[in-house]
Amino acid sequence: MEQPLYVLIVALALTGLFVAIYIFRKKHSQRPLVCPMRANCDVVIHSQFSTFLGIPLELLGMLYYGGLAALYMVALTVVAPSLINPLIVLGLAASAAAFVFS
C-alpha cells in the first residue's frame, strides 16, 4: 500500500520542481509568467518578499521539491526495510518545515 503513495509523492514533488524551475527561468529571462485569470504574477515574483536571506524563493523551492522527490525515489528502491522509516521521517520533517516556512 505504501508504494503507490510514494509514487504519488514523487510525481507531485516533480511537478513542484518543474513549476519552481519555470518561475526561475521566466524571472531571470525577464519574460512575463503565464498566470491564471489574467492576473499579474510579476508583481509577486519581483516583490521584496520573493527572497529569504537573499536567496530567491524559487531556488529554495527547487531544493525542497528536488530533495523530496529524490528521498522518496530512494524509499521506493531501497531494499533494506530498516532504512525506509528514517527516510520517511526525514521527508515528513522537511514537509512540516516547508509548511511552517510558507
Over residues 48-57, mean pLDDT: 89
Residue scoring higher pLDDT (3 or 93)? 93
Contact indicator for 27, 45 with CB cutoff of 8 Å:
yes
| Closest among 40, 60, 64 to 52, alpha carbons compared | 60
Q: Is residue 1 over pLDDT 60? A: no
The CA R_g of the chain, rounded to the nearest whole Å, is 16
In the prediction, which pLDDT does 66 show? 96
Q: Is 38 left (phi over 0), alpha (psi -120 to 50) or beta?
A: left
Cell of 102: 510558507
pLDDT tens digits, residue range 85-97? 888 899 999 999 9
Distance in angstroms (rounded) separating the CA atoms of residues 94 and 63:
11
Q: What pTM value is reported for the model?
A: 0.85
